[in-house]
Structure 1
């Protein structure tokens, strides 16, 4: 038989004369309370020849709130329509590339946006069930109409197999996660890119506020102009249900898809930037672990970028892989894609490695413990516990953050406590979601905690703190699929935006110490009394090279937390009751071997001296931009990012 690679759908259909139409699907909800069930607009493009021959085709679907307010992709493309309302431009390349290969593409306006009825409720029933209704309609289980208000029915069962794959970045990918968590039949695969898995964790981190506003502002931002008037009751429910206290409420429980991972029938191809500070990689970590626990077929790409689509950081490989993924799960081709390595990890700009499973099977939790050093706040990190009574003390300074602390790791500074390993004698890989348990005695009734893992040593990385979050957009274009007037398949190329750094943030996490007794609700602290809290750090996959050091930093409010405590706390850490549980490939033995003194080398690095990096860490890859050695500057505060996934 043919080799698996030969089983690929080919561009045998004409894009220029494809059928373009709009259907309004009845969601069964009345989100705007006008007495009529809401209809959501689904703009469809499908191959005409297939329809004329009676061949049914599968569907690739992107349900988004951004098609009219903000645009999609690196060039902020919006939907456009002809004089008669027929869709002309479908954003992104999915229609141009896949329609000629025998797929339909369906771009759904979430309820409350663009040409849809209803109201945006930011990840709740309206968002998820309005998109699910379209999957149901594609499978003959929901009603569709040819107009927004008319009675003429539109049916999909004559032209589609019903096999649907949902894809999208950020909010779009979040909707795909939520729809998959309903267990809807006909949804065969999802491809969430930089997607949210629980909306509470978008706005808060264990009680600590990450944004200065709640979901009501986001809903108002994407609602269509008429929806902003008719959806005021929904807006008020979003205000009332999401208190700025950071407490978990029923509103947040409704918007948490992780507990429903057991209902997922679709395969999942997840993509995330490990330096995404909009939708942080903790969303991926929680979702991935839940999917794994329930045996969901899955694949993962982890990049060094921030909130960036793989079309803009690994274009050719992405299109090729996505093509084979959809061919397998939507067309049923036995091309072997599901038997290939599960994980692709970006190790350096444009340099990727693969793993058969992720995290790798040899990964095991390794518990490291901070210890006192020769100067206050400059401690050690290793396997042995600190002696009873050992402490470190720091004072909250919300004007500083992870990069300030890391830049002064070997100096006594008031706002942090830092702990470092000796220089590594061999590479050490972390793969998964770290946890740091802290026992701290506060001087005030409220306090924040931040825990950061840092790779101390020079490297060339993608500059995720710059405007492109790790990419530079170039003027020339490449084409991916077929074009026609009003809808081009040609997009601006990109390249890695790189920087030389002398440390790299590996993972971070934040928490309100007031949640120490109840993760769902904060409470006042007792000054002078120790409180123990475990901070969940964000999922990562990072190799600390030989010659570098690994550091754990514990501080108070960092600049990502928008609201500091009402008073300035000083916190005293009980080092004997503070631990870092790290997902180390090879486990404790790998860590022990990596921290053996190097032959002929010092047992520890003198405070304030740079680590020695191997030659490959010192030389930039081809195309890297040389900049002065520095730590990565802190990104813009989150409140300056108005929406998850807003197109650049």
Structure 2
């Protein structure tokens, strides 16, 4: 096991003393007492779930100090105490076991291997105990939390909060769980937006659910973690709305369209009058009975961060309609922030005009969330809205074209064939769950759905006015909030291009930005014990929202990447996917990929006729991909597969591989798809995290929990692994908005980027380039058969190897 801690701050002894006193771990007489007395006090403190001297003594008897003596023996007999004994005990307190995990005669050796921090004092005295205690409290257990968090989860802070003078508490630069999450105020308000998307002549009201510690009722102001979640109030069955993908790619009329012709500009609209204010109240009228859903938010609630959730326009309890990523959804998202910051009205109910302020909020807001939730957080940041201090977006879309399209092709997210913007709007339009409400808005929503279906243009797959409207990267110059971006390198739902282009686009902005790249698919990463991600976010949010001087911007790495070869390994980098990265050029021959330029003309051909075979095997997209990449599989005539020689030493691909292909097809339409593959028999990381312990990740005292998960090594070897892929329509050889003719059997050159990646190639493995046409899991699946020829001399692959 390896535990990578990036948020463990080194502080001077003066700060240690101050903070240990603040959390009541030591008292003012610490340096006046003998070491033996302080050791007894230490062991009283580390068992907050034991309420009597008898039960504490029994707990100490379960800890071995040496191979012969328990802690109880040492304390009862006043035996000598040294650093080795301290860390023998500390490792057991952290959840590790003598013999099975570490040896009692060499605990520090295990700590080095596990990457746990420790001290090595020359003499073990009160000063050594103080420093060791502080460091231990900030060190992670095997269960993904600091030891102080572990103590808190067992009740250490349960009687800490003063009823007369409630206040937040920091330790090692991070907020501590001193507020009872089971005593929070749960309430609902209705924020008035500057929208009328359902065209009923009234501004859309947005139902907003608030979970705030009860201490806010005593005047304590707190910051907010706000999650805009279109799924929060439920989802509709969209089976009947999915588009057929078993159809031909449409021929396009050649055009000279330039970007100016499709550039989106915000239209001017006339808004209804604001709701009249009749009175003001500090008390909400509705209980917030919806559950929370994100363990990161749950973790921060007892630490003094109010949790706020809103579904937005078109969701159950709110007005308006869903528009899938449009500026109206962005406006709906930031309306909540504006209310929290004091710049917009909210009401206690939908009709009486009773205004209510966020009087308990200090005006500082962070947005959190994954996928659509992180997408709306990103969208909000691009408005520069006041009050939004930072965003933690995970697996977020930065341009909806990059979610549903690719280089002039309709390209679905993985496992979502047939979905599109209109389908997602229907999925999230939870207003229709309330039959009475739905009758008022059904007609306008169906009209909007028809407009979405038309404007998204599944016929051509081109980038157009509709997609430009939904491209948040156009507005990156407005971003003022510091940005934390998290993405899976194996996420084929929201593909990595979304985060890479966002990361690159923010390089010139005067903000702080951090990036985390993990080995997962479309997942959260806060419950992995190999990295202190939650601590890092605690450090970050304590600085951003509470103003704690903890140097979070300097301490946290710019880029933190999980390695794909070695489990539990996280590498800090200054940057990722730099444009000045040197490229290694590979040429294509009939047999392999080589860095030597070929001297003779050569070509290879493949067919695009696998749809019938695909349907005969139950249409399993994942099975199809496995068989496509297998040397003797049923689709071997449907692709070209070329490999490098085995690498003599490991290599790291960092950034965007690019391909140049010169190809001809015997049809008036065509597409090219490319996969980059790691070929080599090996036990690789699991595709999804292994559950180490159900509900093993504790979020607070008598509070919620999450599964403790980690990417582990697979039990069986596999012959290959997909690194990245990309697609292009041969009719969009220059731009996704410009059409060009395809004449059958004429050769055309295309140059395009594959999805960005960071991949560690093992020595002895080969890099494989797989060229094919129809991607059964993503592209349209044409029943028409086609034949392709690839001119190898005019084709090449460029790889950004990290030096």
Q: So what's the TM-score if we normalise by structure 1?
A: 0.81
Does the CA-based 8 Å contact 1:312-1:471 persist in structure 2?
no
CA distance in 2, matches of 1:22, 1:384: 67
Q: Which has the larger radius of gyration?
A: 2
Question: Do structure 1's residue 553 and structure 2's residue 765 form an aligned pair?
Answer: no
Matches within 5 A, 1:578-589: 578-586=795-803
Name the CA shift for 1:326/1:522 in 2 (closer, same or farther; >3 Å): same
CA distance in 1, matches of 2:628, 2:585: 20
Question: Do structure 1's residue 244 and structure 2's residue 463 form an aligned pair?
Answer: no
Q: What do residues 538-585 of structure 1 show as CA deviations (whole Å, max 9, x unaligned)? A: 121111111111111211112223423463222222222222222210
Q: Which residue of 1 aligns with 2:115?
A: none
Q: Which residue of 2 aligns with 1:408?
A: 631
Bigger shift: residues 320-329 or 540-549: 320-329
Q: Which residue of 2 aligns with 1:35?
A: 201
Name the CA shift for 1:30/1:494 in 2 (closer, same or farther; >3 Å): same
Does the CA-based 8 Å contact 2:210-2:288 persist in structure 1?
no
Matches within 5 A, 1:251-290: 251-290=466-505
Q: CA deviation at 1:383?
A: 2.6
SS of equivalent residue, structure 1 residue 445: coil
Name the CA shift for 1:417/1:35 in 2 (closer, same or farther; >3 Å): same
Bigger shift: residues 147-156 or 355-364: 355-364
SS of equivalent residue, structure 1 residue 455: strand
Does the CA-based 8 Å contact 1:344-1:354 persist in structure 2?
yes
Matches within 5 A, 1:47-126: 47-52=213-218, 54-69=219-234, 85-87=287-289, 89-126=291-328
How many residues end up aligned between the 2 structures?
A: 561
Q: CA deviation at 1:345?
A: 1.8
Q: Which residue of 2 aligns with 1:394?
A: 606
Name the one with the larger helix percent: 2
CA distance in 1, matches of 2:696, 2:235: 22
SS of equivalent residue, structure 2 residue 683: strand
Q: Which residue of 2 aligns with 1:421?
A: 644
Q: Which residue of 2 aligns with 1:595?
A: none
CA distance in 2, matches of 1:525, 1:323: 55
Name the CA shift for 1:201/1:187 in 2 (closer, same or farther; >3 Å): same
Q: From 562, 587, 590, give the equivalent of 1:346.
A: 562
Q: CA deviation at 1:308?
A: 1.1
CA distance in 1, matches of 2:382, 2:446: 28
Q: CA deviation at 1:59?
A: 0.9
Q: Which residue of 1 aligns with 2:665?
A: 442
Does the CA-based 8 Å contact 1:22-1:44 persist in structure 2?
yes
Does the CA-based 8 Å contact 1:30-1:118 persist in structure 2?
yes
CA distance in 1, matches of 2:233, 2:736: 38
CA distance in 1, matches of 2:780, 2:577: 38
Q: What do residues 74-106 of structure 1 show as CA deviations (whole Å, max 9, x unaligned)? A: xxxxxxxx9953336322234542222221111
Question: Do structure 1's residue 458 and structure 2's residue 677 form an aligned pair?
Answer: no
CA distance in 2, matches of 1:363, 1:5: 41
Bigger shift: residues 434-443 or 360-369: 360-369
Name the CA shift for 1:577/1:450 in 2 (closer, same or farther; >3 Å): same
CA distance in 2, matches of 1:474, 1:450: 40
Name the CA shift for 1:265/1:389 in 2 (closer, same or farther; >3 Å): same
Matches within 5 A, 1:465-544: 469-472=688-691, 475-483=694-702, 488-496=703-711, 499=714, 500-544=717-761
Q: So what's the TM-score if we normalise by structure 2?
A: 0.66
Question: Do structure 1's residue 300 and structure 2's residue 515 form an aligned pair?
Answer: yes
Q: CA deviation at 1:309?
A: 1.0
Q: From 375, 380, 400, give the equivalent of 1:174.
A: 375
Q: Which residue of 2 aligns with 1:370?
A: 587
Q: CA deviation at 1:17?
A: 2.5
SS of equivalent residue, structure 2 residue 557: coil
SS of equivalent residue, structure 1 residue 301: strand
SS of equivalent residue, structure 1 residue 133: helix
SS of equivalent residue, structure 1 residue 515: coil
Instruction: List alignment gaps of at least 5 residues for structure 2.
Output: 1-11, 17-169, 237-283, 615-623
Q: Which residue of 2 aligns with 1:329?
A: 544
Q: CA deviation at 1:481?
A: 2.2
CA distance in 2, matches of 1:70, 1:319: 29
Q: Which residue of 2 aligns with 1:145?
A: 347
CA distance in 2, matches of 1:566, 1:511: 19
Q: CA deviation at 1:410?
A: 12
Q: CA deviation at 1:129?
A: 0.8
Q: CA deviation at 1:195?
A: 1.2
Question: Do structure 1's residue 382 and structure 2's residue 547 form an aligned pair?
Answer: no
CA distance in 2, matches of 1:148, 1:309: 35
CA RMSD of aligned residues (A): 2.7
Q: From 131, 137, 145, give the equivalent of 2:333.
A: 131
Name the CA shift for 1:342/1:409 in 2 (closer, same or farther; >3 Å): farther
Q: What do residues 175-207 of structure 1 show as CA deviations (whole Å, max 9, x unaligned)? A: 011111112122111111111111112111212
Does the CA-based 8 Å contact 1:451-1:535 persist in structure 2?
no
SS of equivalent residue, structure 1 residue 394: strand
CA distance in 1, matches of 2:504, 2:529: 25
